[in-house]
Structure 1
Amino acid sequence: MHKPRSRRRWHIAVFLAPAVLVYSAVMILPLFDTLRLSLFTEGPEGRVFAGLANFRTLFGDPNWSRQFWNALANNFWFFLIHMAVQNPIGIALAAILSAPGLRLAGFYRSAIFIPTILSFVIVGFAWKLILSPIWGIAPSMLDAVGLKSWFAPWLGREETALTTLALISVWQFVGIPMMLIYAALLSIPDEILEAAECDGVTGWSAFWKIKLPLILPSIGIISILTFVANFNAFDLIYAAQGALAGPNFSSDILGTFLYRTFFGFQLQLGDPYMGSAIASAMFAVILVGVCIYLFGIQTRIRRYQL
Structure 2
Amino acid sequence: MAQRKAFRWHIMVFLAPAVLVYTAIMIVPLFGTLNLSLFNTTEEGRVFVGLKNFATLFGDPRWSERFWNALGNNAWFFLVHMLVQNPVGVALAALLSSPRLRGAAFYRTAIFIPTILSFVIVGFVWKLILSPIWGIAPGMLDAVGLKGLFAPWLGREGSALTTLALISVWQFVGIPMMLIYAALLSIPDEVIEAAEMDGVTGWSQFWKIKLPLILPSIGIISILTFVGNFNAFDLIYVTQGALAGPNFSTDILGTFLYRTFFGFQLQIGDPHMGATIATAMFGIILLGVSLYLFTVHRRLRRYQF
Normalization by structure 1: what TM-score? 0.97
Identity of aligned residues (%): 79
Give the partner amino acid of 1:291: S
| Cross-structure match for 2:99 | 100
| Cross-structure match for 2:239 | 240
- 1:124 lines up with 2:128 in the alignment: no
Distance in 2 separating the partners of 1:188 and 1:173: 24
What is the CA distance between 1:3 and its match in structure 2? 9.3
Give the partner amino acid of 1:35: L
| Cross-structure match for 1:158 | 157
Give the partner amino acid of 1:266: Q
CA distances 1:219-259 after superposition (whole Å, capped 9, x unpaired): 00000000000000000000000000000000000000000
| Cross-structure match for 1:38 | 37
Helix, strand or coil at the partner of 1:233: coil
Q: Which residues of 2 match residues 262-301 of structure 1 at below 5 A?
A: 262-301=261-300
- 1:5 lines up with 2:6 in the alignment: yes
| Cross-structure match for 2:192 | 193
| Cross-structure match for 2:18 | 19
| Cross-structure match for 2:206 | 207
Distance in 2 separating the partners of 1:181 and 1:3: 42
CA distances 1:52-89 after superposition (whole Å, capped 9, x unpaired): 11101100100100000000000000000000000000
CA distances 1:259-282 after superposition (whole Å, capped 9, x unpaired): 000000000000000000000000
What is the CA distance between 1:4 and its match in structure 2? 5.9
Give the partner amino acid of 1:287: L
CA distances 1:124-166 after superposition (whole Å, capped 9, x unpaired): 0110110000000000000000000000000000000000000
Give the partner amino acid of 2:51: L
Unaligned runs of 5+ in 2: none
**Aligned structure 1 segments of 4 or more residues deviating by more than 6 angstroms:** none
Normalization by structure 2: what TM-score? 0.98
State how many pairs are aligned. Answer: 303
Distance 1:195 1:4, change over 3 A: closer
Helix, strand or coil at the partner of 1:5: coil
Give the partner amino acid of 2:151: A
CA distances 1:104-139 after superposition (whole Å, capped 9, x unpaired): 100000000000000001100110110000000000
Unaligned runs of 5+ in 1: none
Distance in 2 separating the partners of 1:231 and 1:13: 33
| Cross-structure match for 1:58 | 57
Distance in 2 separating the partners of 1:56 and 1:10: 47
What is the CA distance between 1:303 and its match in structure 2? 4.5
Distance in 1 separating the partners of 2:139 and 2:223: 39
What is the CA distance between 1:304 and its match in structure 2? 6.0
Does the CA contact (< 8 Å) of 2:262 and 2:269 recur in 1? yes
Q: CA RMSD in A?
A: 1.2
What is the CA distance between 1:300 and its match in structure 2? 1.8
What is the CA distance between 1:305 and its match in structure 2? 6.1
